[in-house]
Amino acid sequence: MADVQEVQNGAAPEKAPATAASFTGMKPQLLVEAPKATDAVQFYKTAFGAVEIGRSVETKRKAEQELPLISCAQLEIAGSTFLVSDVSGDSAAAQTVGTGCVLCLETEDVEAAVAKAVSAGAVAEGELAEGNGACCGERVGKVKDPYGFTWLICSPVKKCAGVEA
């Protein structure tokens, strides 16, 4: 009974302070409907110049699958790393496929980058925005990739109100 703390007057029991965590990086993971991760990796290479750093595949596969599913493909664009994974319908993560994430890429030539993404299979959304409507860059284009993710393609960030670039 020594572990039980009594809470009086609605006060929460005191907790030990949490140990500070130190992070060395962050890698967004894009979950795509299985078995499309292989195609998604190729799209990101073609459309955005991604470089594949590594890949791990699931060792088990169903009879109807030509290729094993990708557990994790690690890609890099402009020094930033992200992951792409197949998610099958029987996975709890399947509900999050292609939603809740916008990825931003910076380039000096927004028009050419949007055109390259569209030629690789993305769909342009709206017109290029300029000035104040351009997400802190001078220009921004928006595309949706074939796997449901939205990408903002922006000119380099100058300076936002209260934010240093």
Q: How confident is the model at residue 25 (pLDDT cuts 50, 70, 90)?
A: confident
Q: How confident is the model at residue 156 (pLDDT cuts 50, 70, 90)?
A: confident
CA distance 147 to 165: 30
Q: How confident is the model at residue 66 (pLDDT cuts 50, 70, 90)?
A: confident
Mean pLDDT of all residues in 104-133: 88
Q: How confident is the model at residue 160 (pLDDT cuts 50, 70, 90)?
A: very low
CA distance 77 to 58: 25
Q: Is residue 34 part of a domain?
A: yes
CA distances from 149 to 33, 38, 44 (A): 12, 16, 11
Mean pLDDT of all residues in 37-53: 97
Domain count, the chain: 1
pLDDT computed for residue 132 by the predictor: 56
The answer to pTM > 0.75 is: no
To the nearest whole number, what is the mean pLDDT of the chain? 79
The tally of CA atoms less than 13 A away on the side-chain side of residue 164 is 0
> Has residue 36 got a pLDDT over 70?
yes
Give the domain range for residue 104.
Answer: 29-154
Contact between residue 97 and residue 31 where contact means Cβ atoms under 8 Å apart: yes
Q: Is residue 18 part of a domain?
A: no
Q: Is residue 161 part of a domain?
A: no
CA distance 142 to 49: 17
150-154 and 102-106 beta bridge pairing: parallel
The tally of CA atoms less than 13 A away on the side-chain side of residue 25 is 8
CATH label of the domain that carries residue 36: 3.10.180.10
